[in-house]
Each structure stands twice: as C-alpha cells, then as structure tokens.
Chain A
C-alpha cells in the first residue's frame, strides 16, 4: 500500500499559440499511492485539468506540449511512451471522467456499446457473451438497470449519464481514476449520490483516484490527501487532516477557507480573495500569489519560494513557512 502508483516530477506544460506561449503547469511534483484519493483543488485556470490531461497524454494536439518533467505511472514513464503504448494504458491503467456528462457520451451509439467499447479495446480475449455480461455488471454496479443498455444517451438524465461515464471509466478496473470535477454539472442532491458511489466503487476495486474539484467540502469528505494548485504550481499539500485542522497554511489556502460560509460564525460577509491570477503568458519572477497576498514581503516579489519535497508531511510553498522561512532568513 505504500508504493507510489503515480509520481510526477517537475512537470511543465505549455500551450503554444500563434501569438504567445501559455505556461499552464510550472513544475508540479506530486504522488498518489495505491488505493489513495488525492484532491486537487484550485480556481479555474490553475492548471488542474492540464495536469490531468498530461497524465492521460491527451493534451490538445499541435498546441499543448509537455515541456519537461517526468510522469511515472505504475512503473512506466508516460512522457516517453509512444502513442501506441498510450492507447494500451488509457482506459486500462488510467481512466478519466470529464466534467460535463451531457456532452461526454456519443449521442449516436447506445450506452451499452459505449461501455463495451472499452472492454473490446483492452480485454480482447473475452468472448462476446462474457463482454455482454461485464457490461450488465458494470451498469448494475453504477445503479442503472442493465435492460437499458440499448438506449441512447439522450434517454438518460444528467446524473445517470455521469453514472454511465463512471461505468466506462471503471469497466477495465483501472489502477488510477482521474475525475475532473465529476459533479460540477450535476445538481446538489445528485452530486452526493454520485460521489458516494464513486467512493464505494473505488474502495471495492482498489482504485486510486485524483479528484479535481473546487469544493473543499468534497475534499474533506472523500480524499486522503490534498494538493492545492495556484497558477500552475502546487502551493500546498498534505494529508487532509493536516491541511484542514491547522492554522499554518499558505495565505492562498487561508483565503480559500475564508471564502467558505461557516455556519457557526456570524460573519456579515465572506472574505473572497481579491484580484486575479497572474497572466500565464508571462509568469512573474517571484511568488505567483504575490500580487494578491495579504502577507506579502519584499522578497516574495523577487524570488520564488522553495517547496520542501521530502517526506509525506504537510508542505507549503511560501517564504513564511518551514524551511523557506529559515533559509529566507539566512540569505
């Protein structure tokens, strides 16, 4: 259980357009252990989805590139894998669930055949009757009666479509499941059901999961570890208990927590974080959060803070904390 299923070292992803280069992911390090769920939190444009697509190697052709870094999944270096090798990995070792279930299923193919496709691609030895049985099983597993397999996506509700997407993602029992905001497009009552089901299936199949979300509540409920992304960098990570039950946080994380209404405290207004993320086309020299940080110091704008990578503990990328603070004083 202590082996790292996924290890990402110093991942850098850029998007090249005719006008300029967007630095979307700037040196991300992270790891996911077998059977663990990691929450990846951050505001829109922080690079969460880009990181996920880099793991799948599904960055947009001709514009998205992995500039440097290493992604090791189950012992294989994905950054060096050929397209042919990736086809065997996708859907089999790693699956991804996308944000909008309304558009992630093919409207002209029955849901049963869409589930069967992933089995046909990866479990070629199975006979067609075995495959049909697996499809039925998967549908029942996500709570959809299997007699509906000959229906088309438009005949299902949003929550049911997302269940089918989950069935497709889990059909080959992948080792890693990347869920990119799987519940954002669903209404609140369905959100809870879908999350609970995903958690349950993940436990049963022993799958590791990266859960991309905006919702810290969801993280507290489902994740073992959490990584907080800002402007293409992970600025804080640790076990969920450590990050949630402490006052020692990155100022951005504090801001995120300050933006959640607390039922016990009668505050007049929430404390949103003012300002916007730095322009990813021209990243700043110093700390990415400098412009918006309430606790900024002179040096923050000049030198990017260090990020302690050793150990599994709580790590914060900020000149105010830990090693950074000590070394910062020394220099």
Chain B
C-alpha cells in the first residue's frame, strides 16, 4: 500500500539530491538544473497531498510553481548568457563581481 508518506520520502530524497547538486557542482548551468530538481520535489509533495486530501488546490499551486520555474529559468539563463559574454566562464567560483 503506497501512502503519502512514501511520496514525502521520495520528495525529500529528490530535494536533497538537488541541494547536494547546488552545493557540490561549480558549473552554473548544472546548478540551475539542480534548482529545477528541487522545484520538482516540491511539486511531488503538493500533488501527493492533493491526492491524499481529495482536493484539487494542491495541483493549482503546483501549476503556479511550474509557472514560477519557467520564469526563473528564462531570466536565469539570460543572466548566464549576459555574464558569459563578459567573462567567458560558467564557473560559479569566478562569479564574484558583486562580492565584497
């Protein structure tokens, strides 16, 4: 019997994989993909609760999360392209223009 606890464990594991990707990798494109994994983990949680509570509101919020993820990907990749044009790198350790 698959309960919502199983889905929560899957979601937590996927979230942790995304967090580890953000912290370990230095390629900023892979860091953005890890953020997409994290948002997917959140969506799995929302849809699992929506199915458990027999309530469609969780799916509505998952749609909002997808919309925000699309906006984030568009703006973030625009920033990556603009930065790459100036500094010829995608290494996050070299992105320290605004660090004091």
Note whether A and B form a binding pair: no
Chain B residues packing against A (C-beta within 8 Å): none
